[in-house]
Amino acid sequence: MLTFTLRRILMSIPVLLAVTVLVFTLVELAPGDVSDFFVNPELSGSPEAVQEMRRNFGLDQPAPVRYGIWLSQVMRGDLGFSFVSGERVMTMVLRRFRNTATLMGVALTFSVIVGVSLGVFVAVRQYSLWDHLLSGLSFLAVSMPAFVTGILALYLFAVVWPIFPSGGIRSVGQAASFVDRLHHLILPSLVLALMQTATFMRYTRFSVLEVLRADYVRTARGKGLSERGVTRKHALPNALIPVITVIGLSLPVLVVGAVFTETIFSWPGMGTLYLSAVSSRDVPLVMGLNLFIAVVVLAANLLTDVAYGFVDPRIRYE
Amino acid sequence: MSEAATEPAAVAVRRPRRIENRLLRRFVRNRPAVISTLVLSVIVLLAIFAPVVERYPFDQMQLRERSQPPSAEHWLGTDRIGRDVWSRTVHGARVSLIVGFAATGIAVLIGVVLGSLAGFHGGWVETLIMRFTDVLMTFPPIIIMLTLAAFAPRGLWVIVFIIGGLSWPGVARLVRGQFLTLKEQEFVAAARALGNPGPRVMLVHILPNALPPLMAMISFGIGNAILTEAGLSFLGLGVPPPAPSWGTMLEAARNLDILRNLPWTWLPPAAMTVITVLCVNFIGDGLRDATDARMVL
Amino acid sequence: MRSIPRTLASALAAIVLSSAFAGGTLIGAFDVGPGGSPVPSGPWYNTAGNTWISKIWTPLVSLNEDASGLTAQLATEWSHNDDFTVWTFELRDDVVWHDGEPFTANDVKFTWEWVYAPGTTAAPEIPPAGLLGQADYTAGTAEAIEGIEVLDDTTVRFTTAEPAPRFPNTLIQSYILPAHALTDVSAADMRTTDWWFTRAIGTGPFMHDEFVPDESWSLVANPDYWRGAPRLDRLINRYFADETAAILALEGGAIQFTYVSGDVAVGLGESPAFDLFQGPSGVTNYLMFNFREPAFEDVRVRQAFLHAIDRETIAEVVLGGTAEVVPCITPFEPFWPAEYDAYPYDPERARELLAEAGWDSGRSIEIVTYYDSQFHADAMAAMQQFLREAGVNVTFLLDAAGYNSYFYTGLNWEISYRGLGVNMQAFPYRFYEEEGWPEVVGEERTLMGTRVPELEQLFAQARVEGDPEVYQALMQDVCRVQNEMALEGYLWTAIRFGVASSGLEDFYWYPAPAGGPYQDDAHLWALGD
């Protein structure tokens, strides 16, 4: 297991490098750079100031040199400074990551618990009214992107019937409170969770049905175990193993959802940070965010595989 | 296939025709998939005949009739500068479907070529292609798409190429997998033994067999491409105005006046996006069920 | 990590206490919309957001309450020599910094020499007029700025490099910084230092308390404020990513003030729960033609654009009456001549003019812009349609980030839809002058690719003209020339709005360009019952 993990980590290094080179090239090819952001379109900003700024940011160096400088910085654990705010990229990313992780964590927990429970619930009632109803709804849910559910949720629960705040992670001007945080979290996290809940439900249903048809379950039935006992003791543990993979692989989907959810609910997370970094051509921030996201996604994939190895004794990693 | 018929040996390696019929029959038995096919056909027809079914040119302003709720004149009302929402929604179907089909076409083309090469050749070609596929698959494509869309010039076809150019890894993996399975099967072995050249075996004997499972993936791919375009447009990085993309129409709802007072301008594109993707997903599901069953045969 | 029950208990306590706690706290979204700065940075790096900045730091002079003139802040009075090159400012002697140290003329000198030290790139929206020896100092060839002298603790003398009749007007965003508190901060780190958000010290009515990135900046009352202690205990600026969230927060009672765009402002203003503040934006929206394109050198083409676009209807209907059509670049009526060509909507005339000019109707023109709000999206869609009816095909290219690279460095744009903020006392001459952008456009042409000798002559006079009436007449001449030539496609100037809860007492807001700063008597603001 250890060698497997190590090998996977080593294998991800070229992947990470490839991602950063790809993004750096894209950013390079585009017209304009951060100095544009600072020249105020409405009044001030002189060409001299622009030149000075480019020198300060090292933008007068050729692109490969800049990539090299960036890479050697990263080797030393330093993602550099944002062009726009002058803050350390690492500080900004970690601060936003906390908010995104909260949002995703709550959404993922909700969707796993509700999705898997509903999946089992309808699987043991295959072709019942519940099965048809929930399966149909889950189909609707997987076809609803976060920007549609987000706008709908905002319209219904913050405009028409304003029971939830329209955005932000907490109220300001009062002592921090858990209730207040939760109040702000409910709408965006449910929006983010919806599609995943449906996905997990569908996978769980499928997986449980597969297992229920399997020979060893028939054997268990044959031994005279009650249907409930069969499901709980034999079918469920085996059926849930493949679901773990789906959960592990859901991270990229959540990242996508987070970009929209954070935008609609003014959530100060990585998605909105990425959008503003890209639109202000803040190269160190764009690069840092990409690297960070790539590391997180690769780590999640690795964790999934390792977890899979633990729960399924049939799988051996060499 | 007619050419194959002139070769006596080839006849033996052809799959029986009735399997296709069975596939169709299985698909037809899936009621949601059939209904979805009908609904999607209507949407496709609306998109094709948009200039006919629209009541007004989609970008025609009628400032005296701005911000009007749905009426007999304007079935879905008008937006803030008096453009007919029905006409814009119908035209939006064009944008969505063009992106959906064209981007998926590109993705399938790239995926099939790379997947076939990897599956047929093996060796370093396979390693190279599959490593590259892994890179793209591990990273959420939307992140690269956002970067690309933000840094590239705006345009419908730019979006098509961005989405298509980054959506092929799934196809490549599937095609390669099919190749690895089919390569060992008797009819392929037979074809090769008869001295058919590699590309020909690939084209005539293996690819058609990989087609059924690919069909489901294409269907889901179209749904994904439509969602991605709408999403990019929602973030202001997609198809530029005046082309009425559903995502752009929905994005306008981020303005409070429009969100609160003009729901008829953003509900139709939202509903159309969901309905179209729902149909595509149902069809994909039907295709997968039908083809999965075939694999068991 | 705290246990859940404890967290819940503290939450309940917070709810019980919150009414008492919020008694003296005003929360506003001061940095939403134009005039606000969503990315806060040091006061000399902010090109907007001055409404908020001026709560902490103070300039020598600022705009008055409706931006029609100046008000003394840290200065009490000022005088100048005959040719407007030497300006002497008397300073208040009763001002202390937030840490109790007295404010003196040395702080003023320190500020200039810190801000213009070699290696810094301060960029306020309105930079102060250049002082004698300032360029040498920034270049590192002089030890100090020759043009700033401390005469005594309360007197400072500026000598400008060239006559500057409206010098005080260029000082409104030049916030004075504490010499004693910045000794350990290098000028080169001015942009990146966290001093602004952790240890900031100023002379404003409120003192820095806590800055939470992306969320809020919280200030407490400065009991020693030289105009009198503020009535509020606490003033908080809440950051919102977009206007919709801010307005919904206002409606929900989470904040008491925000900027709102015209479309929502009208509805909110009718509600008794809110007070509407409004004023001219000081920004003119216009189409800048690139004269490097031969077609736009023809005055008939430019005039045709003005006749083709129904500007009155867009201002009245599309923009809901929140905008006013302008005859030239300045949005201030006193600078408009008595008579000018209104270029009324006349698509027929537009087609004729285009035909005479030999316009190629198959041609498609790209209009670049950085405006991404719904307000401008509606206006652009309307313009596109009007122009098409006159036989001109245009597409709008929105590229907020790349805009300036097309515009300033690429120079290959055709038309730009943009806005120009015009301070009544500081006309943006350089947009029309050959030397305004030498590195970009070379010696021969201005940013728009042409020279207008008549305008240049008027500017040369206006620049050094000290008599306000003569200055006004010169500005009217400028407007007349621009209008006749249709040098640019002058469209409209918008009204901007802010909305506050009606419960507030003596709250005041004005949409000054870049947020001012202007006199708003923030120390008198109070929450009602």
pLDDT digit string (tens) for A74-98? 888 888 888 777 778 999 999 999 9
**Which is it for the CA torsion C369, C375, C378, C379, positive or negative?**
negative
Over the range A70-89, which residues count as b (16 or more CB within 10 Å of their CB) and which as e? beebbeeeebbbbbbbbbbb
Whether residue B296 is predicted with pLDDT greater than 80 in this model: the reply is: no
From chain A, the residues in CB contact with C399 under 8 A are 32
Cα separation, A74 vs A69, whole angstroms: 9
pLDDT at C176: 97
pLDDT at C410: 63
Q: Choose from A278, A283, A292 for mutation: most chain B CBs within 10 A.
A: A278
A30 — pLDDT class (breaks 50, 70, 90): low
**In the A/B pair of chains, how many CB contacts fall below 8 A?**
108
pLDDT at C436: 54
Q: Which residue among A278, A294, A301 places its CB closest to the CB of B147?
A: A278
Distance from CA of B100 to the nearest CA of A (A): 14
Whether residue C445 is predicted with pLDDT greater than 50 in this model: the reply is: yes
Whether residue A315 is predicted with pLDDT greater than 60 in this model: the reply is: no
Q: Is the peptide bond before C59 cis (omega within 30 degrees of 0)?
A: no
pLDDT at B7: 40
Place of tokens 């980590």: A9
Cα separation, C510 vs C50, whole angstroms: 11
Task: Look at residues A174, A304, A312 and name the one whose alpha carbon lies nearest to residue A240.
Answer: A312
Q: What is the percent of chain B with per-residue pLDDT over 70, rounded to a whole number?
A: 90
Whether residue B2 is predicted with pLDDT greater than 50 in this model: the reply is: no
pLDDT at B250: 94
The two structure tokens encoding residue A120? 């089992």
User: pLDDT for B118-157, tens place per residue?
Assistant: 887 778 888 888 888 877 776 777 777 888 887 777 788 9
Rounded to an integer, the average pLDDT of C20-36 is 77
User: pLDDT for C161-220, tens place per residue?
Assistant: 988 998 999 899 999 999 999 988 888 788 778 898 889 999 999 999 999 888 899 999
Q: Report helix, strand or coil for C398.
A: strand
Place of tokens 């090819």: A29
Whether residue A318 is predicted with pLDDT greater than 50 in this model: the reply is: no
What average pLDDT does the structure give for chain C?
Answer: 87
A52 — pLDDT class (breaks 50, 70, 90): low
User: pLDDT for B78-120, tens place per residue?
Assistant: 998 889 999 999 999 999 999 999 999 999 999 999 988 888 7
Q: Per mean pLDDT, which range of A176-185, C117-126, C331-340, C441-450 is the poorest?
A: C441-450
Angle between helices A251-264 and A89-123 (to 10 degrees): 110
pLDDT at A53: 64
The CATH number of residue B66's host domain is 1.10.3720.10
Chains that touch B (3 or more CB pairs under 8 A): A, C
Whether residue C346 is predicted with pLDDT greater than 90 in this model: the reply is: yes
pLDDT at C146: 94
| ipTM above threshold 0.95 | no
Whether residue C2 is predicted with pLDDT greater than 50 in this model: the reply is: no
Concatenate the DSSP letters of all residues of B2-67 into one string. HHHHTSHHHHHHSPPTHHHHHHHHHHHH-HHHHHHHHHHHHHHHHHHTHHHH-SS-TT---GGGTT
Whether residue A15 is predicted with pLDDT greater than 80 in this model: the reply is: no
pLDDT at A81: 81
The two structure tokens encoding residue C30? 């001061």
Question: Which residues is C175 bridged to in the sheet?
Answer: C59
**CB distance from C242 to chain B under 8 Å?**
yes
Q: Is the peptide bond before C517 cis (omega within 30 degrees of 0)?
A: yes
Rounded to an integer, the average pLDDT of B191-200 is 73
Domain that holds residue B86: 3-296
Place of tokens 């060893």: A216
Are A151 and B235 in contact (CB < 8 Å)?
A: no
Cα separation, A11 vs C346, whole angstroms: 68
Q: What are phi and psi of A135, to 5 degrees?
A: -65, -40
User: pLDDT for C465-494, tens place per residue?
Assistant: 888 899 999 999 999 999 999 999 999 999
Q: Choose from B135, B161, B229, B233 for mutation: most chain A CBs within 10 A.
A: B135
Most confident of A7-21, B167-181, C270-284: C270-284
The two structure tokens encoding residue B59? 């970008």
Whether residue C328 is predicted with pLDDT greater than 60 in this model: the reply is: yes
From chain A, the residues in CB contact with B234 under 8 A are 147, 260
pLDDT at A209: 86
The two structure tokens encoding residue B94? 């064009």
pLDDT at C8: 45
The two structure tokens encoding residue C236? 């908080």
pLDDT at B201: 72
Cα separation, A239 vs A117, whole angstroms: 12
Percent helix, strand and coil across chain B, each to the nearest 5: 80, 0, 20
User: Total structural domains in chain B?
Assistant: 1
Q: Per mean pLDDT, which range of B202-211, C51-60, C296-305, C459-468 is the poorest?
A: B202-211
Rounded to an integer, the average pLDDT of B224-240 is 89
Q: What are phi and psi of C346, to 5 degrees?
A: -160, 80
User: pLDDT for A229-272, tens place per residue?
Assistant: 777 777 777 778 778 878 877 887 788 888 999 999 989 899 88
pLDDT at A156: 95
Whether residue C7 is predicted with pLDDT greater than 80 in this model: the reply is: no
pLDDT at A277: 86
User: pLDDT for A276-295, tens place per residue?
Assistant: 888 777 888 888 988 888 88
Alpha carbon separation from C148 to B148, C76, C153, C187 (Å, rounded): 50, 18, 14, 18
The two structure tokens encoding residue C397? 């290219």
Are C385 and B59 in contact (CB < 8 Å)?
A: yes
Are C395 and B240 in contact (CB < 8 Å)?
A: yes
Q: Long-range contacts for C440-447 (Cβ within 8 Å, ≥24 apart)? A: C440/A47, C440/C408, C440/C409, C440/C411, C441/C411, C445/C291, C445/C292, C447/C407, C447/C408
B207 — pLDDT class (breaks 50, 70, 90): confident
User: pLDDT for B41-78, tens place per residue?
Assistant: 999 999 999 888 888 888 888 888 888 999 988 999 99
Are A162 and C21 in contact (CB < 8 Å)?
A: no
Q: What are phi and psi of C219, to 5 degrees?
A: -120, 155
Question: Which residues is C426 bridged to in the sheet?
Answer: C423
Length of chain C: 529
From chain A, the residues in CB contact with B140 under 8 A are 251-253, 255-256, 293, 297
Better-scored residue on pLDDT, B281 or C157 = C157
From chain B, the residues in CB contact with C396 under 8 A are 240-241
From chain C, the residues in CB contact with A268 under 8 A are 213-215, 241
Q: Report helix, strand or coil for C195.
A: helix
**C415-421 and C364-369: which strand pairing?**
parallel
Whether residue B186 is predicted with pLDDT greater than 80 in this model: the reply is: no
Chains that touch C (3 or more CB pairs under 8 A): A, B
Domains in chain A, please, with CATH? 97-282+294-311 (1.10.3720.10)
Are B254 and A264 in contact (CB < 8 Å)?
A: yes
pLDDT at A16: 79
pLDDT at B17: 55
Cα separation, A214 vs B39, whole angstroms: 37
The two structure tokens encoding residue C344? 């009324």
Concatenate the DSSP letters of all residues of C337-363 into one string. -SS-------HHHHHHHHHHHT--TT-
Task: Look at residues A291, A317, A314 and name the one whose alpha carbon lies nearest to residue A302.
Answer: A317
What average pLDDT does the structure give for chain A?
Answer: 82
Cβ-based neighbours of B102, under 8 Å, separated by 6 or more:
B157, B160, B164
Whether residue C276 is predicted with pLDDT greater than 50 in this model: the reply is: yes
Cα separation, C426 vs C405, whole angstroms: 25
Whether residue A9 is predicted with pLDDT greater than 80 in this model: the reply is: no
Better-scored residue on pLDDT, A122 or C433 = A122
Better-scored residue on pLDDT, A206 or C434 = A206
The two structure tokens encoding residue B85? 């929402």
Distance from CA of B72 to the nearest CA of C (A): 23
